[in-house]
């Protein structure tokens, strides 16, 4: 039957039904939402079969029962265009799959997820997967590779349509639908004008097809929604730098960076396994310098493939120079910088500012608070921009905390844009503004741990409403932002704000006692000493040199540097007659001397320190006395005078338990823990093993409660030694193993002692 007679059949039926209902064309037009002109064309047979939604609207307007409505739909269906059969994979369709990447590596779990979706379509369920992620992850290559891999499930063909989402004017949904309709066999003259009609026609055509559709480089949800098949057995893979979070009921494939071994395998496939074997370490270094980003790794491989006699190590050395890295990562028309620039140009002005300024943040990650300060934007606007950048794949969110981080190469790109668009003056102002704020917050937070509750704040928190409410929150903030406030401390020193440096470093002192495993304390207190010297404050210089000597001793285990620094502090303290600082300097110097094997000199200094501190009545003075007593006692024990050591440590315990008014509970508890640990070790040295267990357990509980990992694990080691002597071998082994693993993670010098104890257990057959 020809098209015209079929169209006339529908028109005659529609006219009959309208007349039977007693409706004019105008009234049916109003009831069905179809124009009078369109109704007239349908009734006269001038229009081909209308789409299903139009027929449904007419049936509703006419008030038809189900049987008559179905008859009207069948008549319309006979008049609709019949598309040609689906293009075979070898057909010359403009949307045919491009060449697969022969050296494709990794992505096994992601491919498995798409295979599961393909199997769902075998059961008659249409499926959609969104493949998203930052620039350079190989989203298009993955989608094309997946299409080839899944081709057997889709015998009616596989099509790829580039939606040009990164172009200034992405492909409109209307134009994309025209491309797809032509590709599935709809003649040009049969393609409707309206986007909705095109979308409906595509869904109708694909209803009975088994087709895989790749919509590459999508700009947003509005662009792709009209392109998605409805019912049927099709699989649609959408690639986008945006998350397309607004798409409902879709499978999500979030591509990640390659693992190092996968990046090395990709290089091996591009340049050959023999070159990789010859320079295995250089290849691993090259993969790391590419940030494990597939595009960067491929570019590096292509460069080497084009230069078969060039050493891999030479390219790695070039990439090691950060200022040249993005220039080096180019091969022909492939460029990492160009991939980033496409996304950057898509951003609004505020989001571009946030991306640039975020590259000025110190450390591996940063908070919305930091972004707000660097960008000079209100907090809510900066947070919105950060989310926009996350959606675009340009910032990576932390899985738990509200923090973000850059890919290394993207950070280099953003830093370049700071130079191009902001310049030195603007970036310096941003860094200064951030540093001032960070140091004020850090100082206020650290002073919550000060030994002197009457210590006056040099200045308040910059945002009292958002300040940490208690010690737990203060500790969490100081830990999360330590890279930022440490950078702020250095910037304050470099720009001559010496008093702020001194105040911040002094505020950190007692907090540092609770976090000795942070190696940054050497930097912090060196900044404080340098600032005091630059300001000409001799008293502050003595204080901060003592802090620095403590850090050398306890944080980086460098007794040589500790002794030199303690001696410098002692000299300054003597010059100004400060007995408290003299006492601290003598104690820190004694610790260094003892570690250097100069026990007699160490003992003499400690006795001198105890004498000088005996008349100190301040909180700081009593804490200094406790420190000196505990160290003196430990040295006496090590020299064989365990009874005298026990008496001294009992004296320290008594001072702590007296809980003198005004002393913060946590600090006095820490000193109590130290005294108990020493008492346990004194009793062990006297062979009183059973008595030694309880004070060590009490000390361990204290150190775990206040989160002092280094002290807790050292005490756990001491307890394990006691348990071994008590012949509780299984418990001893468990305790020693736990201590060993933790001490190794803390890079503690006592890990060797734990190893020796475990070996002794094994050799003696006591496990």
What are the structural domain ranges in the chain? Answer: 3-79, 108-254, 260-331, 347-491, 708-763
Neighbour tally for 248: CB within 10 Å = 8
The angle formed by the CA atoms of residues 452, 455 and 458, to the nearest 5 degrees, is 150
In this structure, the chain runs to a length of 767
Q: In whole angstroms, what is the distance from residue 507 CA to residue 445 CA? A: 9
Alpha carbons 461 and 474: distance in angstroms, whole number: 12
For residue 116, count CB atoms less than 10 angstroms from its CB and return exposed for 0-12, middle for 13-18, buried for 19 or more: exposed
CA atoms within 13 Å, Cβ hemisphere of 505: 33
pLDDT tens digits along 700-727 = 999 999 888 889 999 999 999 999 999 9
Q: Can you say whether residue 281 is alpha, beta or left, with left for phi > 0 and alpha for psi between -120 and 50 degrees?
A: alpha
Q: 3-79 belongs to which CATH class?
A: mainly alpha
Do 240 and 217 form a contact (C-beta atoms < 8 A)? yes
pLDDT at 80: 62
Q: What tens digit of pLDDT does each residue of 88-99 get?
A: 433 445 788 888
> In degrees rounded to 5, what are phi and psi of residue 83?
-65, 155
Does residue 406 carry a pLDDT above 80? yes
**Quick check: 767 pLDDT over 60?**
no
Q: What is the mean pLDDT of the chain?
A: 89
Paired strand residues for 366? 404
Question: Which ranges of 218-311 would DSSP assign to H, the alpha helix?
Answer: 221-224, 260-271, 273-278, 280-289, 294-305
To which residue do tokens 């992405």 refer?
A: 170
> CB–CB of 471/447 below 8 Å?
no
* Token pair of 226 as six digits: 């009209």
Range with lowest mean pLDDT among 197-201, 362-366, 425-429, 441-445: 362-366
Highest mean pLDDT among 186-200, 387-401, 562-576: 562-576
Which residue has tokens 């006492």? 583
pLDDT in tens, 460-501: 889 988 899 998 899 999 999 999 999 999 999 999 999 999
Q: Considering the entire predicted model, what is its pTM? A: 0.71
Please give the average per-residue pLDDT across 382-390, as a whole number: 92
Q: At what angle do helices 349-358 and 379-391 cross, to 10 degrees?
A: 90
CATH class belonging to 108-254: alpha beta
Contact present, 265 and 105 (Cβ < 8 Å): yes
3-state class of 28 per DSSP? helix
Q: Output DSSP code: residue 764.
A: T
pLDDT of residue 71: 87
pLDDT in tens, 248-274: 999 999 899 999 999 999 999 999 999
CA 154 vs. chain centroid, Å, equals: 38
**Third-level CATH fold of 347-491:** Arc Repressor Mutant, subunit A (1.10.10)
Q: Which helix (H) or strand (E) holds 313?
A: helix 312-319
What are the angstrom distances between the C-alpha of 486 and each of 449, 478, 492, 501, 553? Answer: 18, 10, 10, 10, 20
CA distances from 430 to 380, 424, 531, 739 (A): 18, 10, 23, 45
CB atoms within 10 A of CB 458: 16
Count Cα atoms within 13 angstroms, Cβ side, for 104.
19
């Amino acid at each position: 039957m020809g098209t015209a007679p079929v169209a006339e059949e529908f028109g005659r039926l529609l006219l009959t039904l309208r007349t039977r209902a007693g409706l004019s064309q105008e009234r049916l037009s109003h009831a069905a939402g179809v124009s009078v002109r369109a109704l007239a064309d349908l009734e006269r047979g001038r229009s081909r079969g209308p789409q299903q939604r139009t027929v449904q609207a007419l049936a509703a307007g006419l008030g038809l029962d189900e049987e008559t409505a179905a008859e009207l739909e069948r008549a319309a269906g006979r008049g609709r265009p019949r598309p040609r059969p689906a293009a075979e994979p070898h057909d010359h369709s403009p949307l045919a799959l491009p060449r697969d990447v022969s050296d494709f590596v990794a992505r096994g779990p992601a491919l498995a997820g798409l295979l599961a979706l393909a199997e769902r379509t075998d059961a008659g369920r249409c499926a959609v997967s969104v493949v998203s992620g930052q620039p350079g992850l190989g989203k298009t290559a993955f989608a094309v590779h997946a299409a080839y891999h899944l081709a057997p499930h889709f015998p009616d063909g596989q099509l790829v349509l580039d939606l040009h989402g990164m172009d200034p004017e992405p492909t409109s949904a209307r134009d994309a639908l025209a491309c797809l309709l032509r590709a599935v066999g709809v003649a040009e003259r049969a393609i409707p004008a309206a986007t909705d009609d095109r979308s409906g026609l595509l869904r109708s055509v694909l209803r009975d097809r088994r087709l895989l559709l790749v919509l590459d480089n999508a700009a947003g949800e509005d662009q792709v929604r009209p392109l998605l098949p409805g019912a049927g057995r099709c699989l649609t893979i959408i690639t986008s730098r945006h998350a397309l979070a607004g798409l409902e009921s879709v499978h999500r494939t979030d591509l990640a960076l390659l693992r190092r071994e996968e990046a090395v395998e990709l290089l091996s496939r591009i340049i050959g396994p023999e070159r990789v074997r010859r320079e295995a370490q250089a290849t691993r270094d090259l993969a790391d310098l590419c940030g494990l980003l597939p595009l960067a790794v491929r570019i590096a491989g292509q460069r080497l493939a084009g230069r078969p006699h060039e050493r891999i190590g030479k390219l790695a050395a070039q990439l090691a120079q950060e200022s040249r890295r993005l220039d080096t990562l180019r091969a022909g028309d492939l460029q990492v910088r160009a991939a980033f620039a496409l996304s950057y140009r898509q951003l609004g002005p505020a989001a571009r500012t946030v991306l640039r300024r975020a590259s000025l943040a110190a450390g591996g990650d940063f908070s919305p608070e930091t972004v707000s300060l660097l960008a000079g934007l209100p907090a809510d606007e900066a947070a919105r921009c950060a989310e926009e950048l996350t959606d675009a794949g340009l910032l990576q969110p932390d899985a738990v905390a509200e923090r973000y981080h850059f890919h290394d190469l993207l950070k280099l790109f953003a830093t370049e844009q700071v130079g191009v668009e902001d310049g030195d003056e603007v970036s310096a102002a941003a860094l200064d503004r951030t540093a001032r704020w960070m140091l004020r917050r850090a100082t206020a937070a650290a002073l919550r741990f000060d030994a002197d509750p009457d210590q006056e704040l040099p200045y308040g928190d910059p945002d009292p409403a958002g300040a940490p409410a208690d010690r737990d929150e203060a500790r969490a903030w100081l830990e999360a932002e330590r890279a930022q406030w440490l950078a702020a401390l250095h910037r304050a020193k470099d720009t001559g704000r010496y008093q702020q440096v001194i105040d911040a470093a002094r505020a950190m002192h007692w907090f540092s006692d609770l976090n000795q495993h942070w190696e940054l304390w050497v930097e912090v207190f060196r900044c404080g000493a340098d600032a005091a010297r630059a300001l000409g404050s001799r008293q502050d210089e003595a204080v901060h040199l003592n802090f620095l000597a403590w850090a050398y001793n306890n944080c980086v285990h460098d007794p040589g540097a500790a002794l030199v620094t303690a001696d410098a502090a002692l000299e300054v303290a003597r010059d100004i007659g400060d007995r408290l600082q003299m006492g601290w300097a003598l104690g820190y110097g004694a610790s260094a001397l003892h570690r250097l094997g100069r026990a007699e000199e160490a003992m003499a200094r400690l006795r001198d320190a105890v004498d000088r501190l005996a008349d100190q009545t301040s909180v700081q003075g009593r804490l200094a006395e406790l420190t000196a007593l505990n160290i003196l006692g430990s040295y006496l024990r090590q020299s064989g005078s365990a009874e005298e050591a026990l008496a001294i440590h009992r004296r320290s315990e008594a001072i702590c338990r007296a809980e003198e008014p005004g002393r913060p509970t946590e600090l006095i508890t820490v000193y109590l823990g130290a005294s108990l640990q020493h008492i346990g070790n004194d009793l062990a040295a006297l062979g009183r093993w059973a008595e030694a267990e309880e004070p060590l357990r009490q000390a361990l509980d204290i150190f775990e409660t206040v989160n002092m990992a280094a002290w807790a694990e050292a005490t756990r080691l001491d307890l394990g030694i006691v348990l071994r002597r008590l012949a509780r071998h299984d418990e001893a082994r468990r305790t020693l193993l736990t201590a060993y693993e933790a001490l190794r993670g803390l890079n503690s010098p006592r890990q060797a002692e734990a190893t020796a104890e475990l070996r002794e257990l094994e050799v003696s057959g006591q496990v």
